[in-house]
Structure 1
Amino acid sequence: MRSAQTKGSKQFGKGTAVLLAAMLIASGCGNGNNGGKNESASSGSPTASPSGSAGASPAASQQPDGGSETKDFVKLSWYMPKPIDNMKDQDAVEAEANKMIKEKLNAELHFNLIDTAGWEDKMKLISAAGEPYDLVFTTYSMNRINDNVQKGAFLPLDDLLQKYGQDILKKVDPRAWKAVTYKGKIMAIPAQTPYSPGSAHVFKKDLVEKYNFDYKNVKSIKDLEPYLAMIKKNEPNMIPLLATANGTASGITLYDYTTLSPGISYSEKDGKIVKILDVEQNKENYRTINDFYKKGYIAKDAAIKTDYLAEAKSGKYAVMRDSGGYTEDGSKSTATYGFPTVETLTGYPTISTNSMTAAATAISATSKNPERAMMLLNEIWKDKYLLNTLAYGVEGKNYTVKAGKVTDDNPTIEAKSGAEQTWAIWHNWLGPLWDQWDSNWNSTAALEAMRKNNENGKASGALGFIFNPEPVKTEIAQVSAIQKESNPILTTGSMTDFDKYYTDLQKKLVDAGIDKILAEVQKQFDAWKAENQ
């Protein structure tokens, strides 16, 4: 998928912006993705649940062969946020896809695409009203899986997967079932998506060549300073470092800390749960950003800029972060930003419950046809042509074939972009990312690199832990409100007195109840850990 066209990246909060960035990587926003299958999951069935009970092995069940189970024609509805603003070809794409769906399942699919600004409120209203629908997009932070499970909005999927989901079970990473299992029941289908997407400093290639800067030896954000100073002195039309209100500068992320709740993280080094602002390295990183801001390396109005991607694509910044994942040759950022770039890796986050639920699909508890809904999902995971039609659209209208044929296992296509793009659904919003055709969204090589990185990535010590925010929802709302106000200042370094601002912010969070949140997270984590030892 291409983040340039994702309205949600502007309108969701910082946590969701990170989520969308991950989904961009995964689905097709840059230009490098894979087309292979997840070999590590090829024989998988749902793994042990967070409570430690082993999931049933659906692999022994047989797939239905149609007959009486698909005798009656049904209409299926699927709710999603709008991937791009202009989806005017929806009727044509659905008509093409429904030829296959009708033939194989005697069903018809219709997408209900909601503007991102109203997505959360719309789904809450639908849920509260008990409105019948079949499928829905859900994540750890948008239309939250946890919230929907708590209010009974989603259907348990174990039996449906055993009977109708064999192709899904063959391809989902077995570890990911932990992230969607509640009290022993699978409540959503986790997508193939980058669980540990590499992040990088991105440099305009012409500038590093002009100043012969050894960008490959940048190990920390402080290592950037000599180059930023050089750009500030010699390139009056360039801004040395990009940071925006909802987009941190490259090199700020703490990869050894996994977020469990707003302001609360799990330390992978020592297994402790901490307030993230109390972590000394976090404080020092923000101090460095403040120093850079004061020296003029960051735009004076950075705190009111909200579209990181648009700023990066303007070409007026010397150093940015990647958009869509690190590629050693800089090809992904080059394609995304529209000018030649080079990159140096800053690190990989641990694989967490959140990263494994950056994109998932659930079946509504109000669905009148849950069996057919699962059959449809399984067909999407099984049939590459159906998957890629739903994602890319109609040949000749939304994309052109550059090599091979769409009936082949892996053709190369060119999807329309920018103002000409009138349809897109990111592959991991549908489920099987690794079956994406090679394209300008993601190359097969880049997808393969993401898949291998998933297989080799380090799992968080808190993988499988799902925090229930209900006991401290008031405090979480208060902390989130403070973060919404403070994040633009922190991420851009645009405070006058750093130490005073930082200390005052810590006190505000304490007054808002962050210590109560910490205690509740610790309590639930200890109980979860005791059950899983």
Structure 2
Amino acid sequence: MKTKKIMAMMLAFFLVMTGIIGCSKSGDSSPGNVSAGSGGKLDPVTLKIVLPGDRPADMDVVIKEAERRMADTLNVKLDIVFVPWSDLAQKTQMMLASGESVDLIFDAPWLHMEQMISSGYYEPLEDLLDKYGQDALKVRSQQMFDANKFQGKIYALPLGNTHLAGRTYLVRKDLREKYGLPPIKTYDDLIQFAYKVKENEKDVIPLLAYGQPGQKDVSWGAFRAFMEYDPQILRSDALGQSLVLYYKNNDGKVYNLFDEMEPRVWSWIEEARKLYTDGLIHPDILALKDVNSVIESGKIAVAVYNEFGVPTQFETAVARNVPGAELEAVTFIKSEKGKNITNFKQANFQAIPKVSKNKERAMMFLNWAAQKENYDLLAYGIEGTHYKAKGDDQYEQIGSGYSYFPYAWIWNPTTDRLNAGFDADSIAHYQFNKNADNLTSSILTGFSFDPGPVMNEISLYNAVEDKYYNALFDGVFDPAEQWNKLKAEGEGYVKKIQVELQKQIDAFLAQK
């Protein structure tokens, strides 16, 4: 009996060690990355995770609970580093270029995703997902993965809760009702409301957009592209948020505003100038680094926002700062089957840098975060303290200690909950756009641009565009003067980028 017991113990020990050794063989990480400490427990690891935005007040409370849950399994500590949105592009690029030790990092095509991949900063994730990411795979459709490859590989985990991003104008509902105006149904209605505010509310700024270089797609004029049709204008794969290179009509062609100005785009630019000179757009728009706090002040009548619905943090703050104030969500995106063209690409990603010494454990963490109860914790906080669950797919936020930001690191369409406080129209938009069959697939779905051949031109042009783009689309300076400066300095770079992008698209389409 004693001999059998010893043999059984030896067999168990062998199986445990075999499993541990198997877990350590992935990517090019160091052999000790997933190894056993005393008693067969994984060695403790601290993951450094770089995220955009501001650190929630109760972040430490949530992280403490997450670490408690992982103590006997992943044995991971979390070092969460937040970088302000206004500094995101520069600081994250410096981190990667300097070889700073980072295990997970936020990136996006509108930031510098392609450049970082071409420069070799990110680890391909196929093997890691296959070995340690079964749950991270399950909560995302194959379509989402197929459409969000770069140079034919999965270099980062796609983050998104729908197949078409929401775009909304946040409107002071109480002021609209004060003036006896009906619900806003058109863009003209929106502008009429803004002029009414200008006439009657000296302490309220009618219109607010974003003015920093990394926020080009939420400048006032450029934001129009998300909600207008005929033609439906889509940003290109080469220049991120910029409309200077663009697609339209789903024809596989790359259009260049420097070659020929699109009349619809120029009308947005000219209108932004009029709104600014008429005193509707925030006068200091280019200097504002924290637009969210300005919205939360309650002294804005209309603000652009990159989702459907009114975020709880805005709703709560506005009501607190201006008693009686209330926000409503207004969108002109159409919920008609087939009306919206999409390539199913996501705007946000979570990548594992090559320099990470904890690649396996980083993927294990992303997999852990994809499990419903863990996702709820990291997305919404402590149940009963920061949020209240409403069924399986909605939630109600409690207080402002832990704001919603799964879009920065763990977002997925399966476990994400909708805000129960959203209006019925916003919830309907989310549900409609979760179904891929409701959307028209772009002819370029699955295409991935390799910026390598024009990396220098992209870098030089982005530096030029950063000087003029937001000022142009936010109406701060004379449009013709700004456009001529942008064109004079950037046209040569853009033409080379356009030619290379079209070349790669033609090759992609030829293989379909």
TM-score normalised by the chain length of structure 2: 0.73
Q: 1:264 aligns with which of 232, 242, 245?
A: 245
Change beyond 3 A, Cα 1:87–1:467: farther
> 1:297-352: CA deviations, max 9, x gaps?
3344444444433333333333333x35234x998974575432344322267434
| Distance change (3 Å), C-alpha of 1:305 and 1:139 | closer
Matched, 1:360 2:343: no
2:105 equivalent in structure 1: 136
The Cα shift of 1:110 comes to 2.3
Q: Distance in 1 between matches of 2:200 and 2:468?
A: 33
Q: CA deviation at 1:281?
A: 0.3
8 A contact 1:434–1:451 mirrored in 2 = no
Amino acid at match of 1:232: K
Q: Contact conserved, 2:51 with 2:105, CA < 8 A, in 1?
A: no
RMSD of aligned alpha carbons: 3.9
Q: 2:278 aligns with which of 290, 295, 301?
A: 295
Superimposed CA distance per residue, residues 26-64 of structure 1 (whole angstroms, 9 cap, x where no aligned partner): xxxxxxxxxxxxxxxxxxxxxxxxxxxxxxxxxxxxxx9
Aligned amino acid, residue 462 of structure 1: L
Is structure 2 residue 49 aligned with structure 1 residue 79?
yes
Among 308, 312, 318, which residue is 2:291 paired with?
Answer: 308
Which residue is equivalent to 1:450? 430
Q: Secondary structure at 2:456's aligned position in 1?
A: helix
Provide the C-alpha distance between the structure 2 equivalents of 1:425 and 1:228, rounded to a whole number of angstroms. Answer: 30
Q: Deviations over 1:338-389 (max 9, x none)?
A: 4323443222674346x51x2223334344454444333222212x222233
SS at structure 2 position matched to 1:185: coil
- Do the aligned partners of residues 174 and 478 (structure 1) sit closer, same or farther apart at CA in structure 2, a change above 3 Å counting? same
Q: CA deviation at 1:526?
A: 1.5
Which is further off, 456-465 or 114-123? 114-123
C-alpha deviation, 1:505, in angstroms: 3.5
Structure 1 Cα separation of the partners of residues 427 and 35 of structure 2: 38
Q: How many residues align?
A: 449
**What letter is aligned with 1:136?**
I
Identity %: 25
1:463 CA drift (Å): 2.7
Using the TM superposition, name which of 191-200 and 130-139 deviates more: 130-139
Map 1:80-479; keep pairs closer than 5 Å.
Answer: 80-81=50-51, 83-85=53-55, 89-90=59-60, 92-105=61-74, 107-116=75-84, 120=89, 123-124=92-93, 127-128=96-97, 134-142=103-111, 144-218=112-186, 220=187, 222=188, 224-246=190-212, 247-249=218-220, 252-255=223-226, 256-260=232-236, 261-262=238-239, 263-276=244-257, 278-321=261-304, 323-327=305-309, 334=315, 337-338=318-319, 339-347=325-333, 350-352=341-343, 355-356=345-346, 358-382=347-371, 384-394=372-382, 399-400=385-386, 402=388, 412=395, 414-417=397-400, 420=401, 426=406, 429-432=409-412, 434-436=414-416, 449-455=429-435, 456-479=438-461
Whether the 8 Å CA contact 2:207–2:302 is kept in 1: the answer is yes
Residue of structure 1 equivalent to 2:229: none
SS state at 1:216 partner = coil
Query: By how many angstroms is 1:466 displaced?
Result: 2.3
Deviation of 1:286 after TM superposition, in Å, equals 1.2
**Does the 8 Å CA contact 1:189/1:362 hold for their aligned counterparts?**
yes
What is the aligned partner in structure 2 of residue 523 from structure 1?
A: 503
From the superposition, tell whether residues 502 and 318 of structure 1 become closer, same or farther in structure 2 (CA, over 3 Å). same
Alignment-derived partner of residue 8 in structure 1 = none
Partners of 1:481 and 1:203 in 2: how far apart? 34
Larger Rg: 2
1: CA distance between counterparts of 2:253 and 2:485? 24
Q: CA contact under 8 A between 1:193 and 1:428: conserved in structure 2?
A: no
**Contact in 1 for aligned 2:50/2:102 (Cα 8 Å):** no
Larger RCO, structures 1/2 (Cα 8 Å, 6+ apart): 1
* Residues 468-522 of structure 1: CA deviation (Å, up to 9, x unaligned): 22332333233223322223322332334x4444345433432x52212211211
What SS does the corresponding residue of 2:72 show, helix, strand or coil? helix
Q: CA deviation at 1:172?
A: 0.7
Query: 1:156 & 1:530 partners in 2: Cα distance?
Result: 26
Q: Aligned equivalents of 1:411 and 1:504: distance in 2?
A: 48
> Are the equivalent residues in 1 in contact too, given 2:308–2:331 (CA < 8 A)?
yes
1:345–1:463 distance in 2 versus 1, CA, 3 Å: same
Which stretch has the larger CA shift, 456-465 or 274-283? 456-465
- CA–CA distance in structure 1, aligned partners of residues 286 and 66 of structure 2: 44
Which secondary structure state, in structure 1, belongs to the residue aligned with residue 443 of structure 2? coil
* Alpha-carbon distance in structure 2 between the residues aligned to 1:239 and 1:132: 43
